Amino acid sequence: MRNIRLLIAYDGTAYAGWQRQRIQPTIQGVLEEKISLMTTAPVIVHGAGRTDAGVHALGMVANFHTISSIPCAGFLKGLNCLLPDDIAILQVDEVDADFHARFKAKGKIYAYQFLCAPIVLPHQRLYYTQVPKQLDFEMMESALSLLVGEHDFSCFEAAGSRDCSVVGGRGAVRQIFSASLQQQGDGWAIVLHGDGFLRHMVRNVAGTVFDVGQGRSSLRDFVEILASKDRGRAGKTAPAKGLFLREVIY
């Protein structure tokens, strides 16, 4: 069996997330359908993680096994022809038999894109969250820096996250390697690089960091929220549309 790795970008707007579902369209479901069409055999595509409904990806990684002899360049061209234009295959490689997109991932980089503007322009609406009130970027940077290191991130965890994480067996403890604000297109992005993320973690971090930026929470509150391990104390879950999976690191 060959083991084929895909580098994938998608606009998640029209999808009920990554994971295959019976009725609603999903990224995994569409990919499996088109690969099966090319290889004339059923296939299972393993993704590096399961993005939620409406979340985008610039660098999702997935792999599948096949006995097909279609060359990588053929998959690249063929899949990009067959797939709807909100899913793009950026790269196809044949990899070692033991490569697994999820189990071999050492980390991920997520970007949460936002605009600090009174009105979001129509061509930004699918990819940026609007934060109407002025933000204190220095305070937000300070809050983000408090996330770096190994912490129990229970306060930012939605229900049912454990089985989604890259690193299993250690509860809600994750390591964040870096957390910063970056200029991103017309707006900004909260960029988090970690060894794994709990369900809704980046969106919950974003919502809580927006509270700090808007002066609704202080840095001291932020420290206490993190220490409390209590989801009820953190900010709102920021909308899915601002979230991009930028990169999976192996």
Identify the burial level of 118 via C-beta atoms within 10 angstroms of its C-beta, where 0-12 means exposed, 13-18 middle and 19 or more buried: exposed
Binding-site string for a copy of itself from residue 25 to residue 64, where x marks contact by CB under 8 A and - marks none? -------------------------------x-x------
For the bound state, the minimum distance from the C-beta of residue 12 to a copy of itself, rounded and expressed in Å, comes to 9
Nearer to a copy of itself, 187 or 194 (CB): 187
Contact 120, 134 (CB under 8 A): no
- Per CB under 8 A, contacts with a copy of itself among 177-206 are 185-186
Q: Does 119 bind a copy of itself (CB under 8 A)?
A: yes
CB 228: neighbour CB atoms within 10 A?
Answer: 13
CB burial class (10 A; 0-12, 13-18, 19+) of residue 10?
Answer: buried
- What's the closest the beta carbon of residue 11 comes to a copy of itself, in angstroms? 4
Select the residue interacting with a copy of itself from 4, 5, 11, 206 (CB under 8 A).
Answer: 11
**27 neighbors 53 (Cβ within 8 angstroms):** no
Phi then psi for residue 228, to 5 deg, are: -70, -25
Total number of residues binding a copy of itself (CB under 8 A)? 21
Burial (CB < 10 A; 0-12, 13-18, 19+), residue 201, is buried
Measured distance CA(100)–CA(159) in Å, rounded:
26
Shortest reach from residue 81's CB to a copy of itself, in Å = 12
3-state DSSP call for residue 190?
Answer: strand
| Catalytic position from the list 52, 85, 96, 98 | 52
Which of positions 121-140 make contact with a copy of itself (CB under 8 A)? Answer: 121-123, 125-127
Rounded least distance, CB 85 to a copy of itself, Å? 5
Give the nearest distance from C-beta 89 to a copy of itself in angstroms.
8
Give the separation between CA 135 and CA 177, rounded to whole angstroms: 24
The pattern of x and - marking residues 75 through 114 that bind a copy of itself according to CB under 8 A reads -----x----xxxx-x------------------------
Containing H/E element for 63?
Answer: strand 56-66
Clarify whether 52 is annotated catalytic.
Answer: yes
| C-beta of 130 vs 154, nearer to a copy of itself | 130
Active site residues: 52
Residues that bind a copy of itself (CB under 8 A): 9-11, 56, 58, 80, 85-88, 90, 119-123, 125-127, 185-186
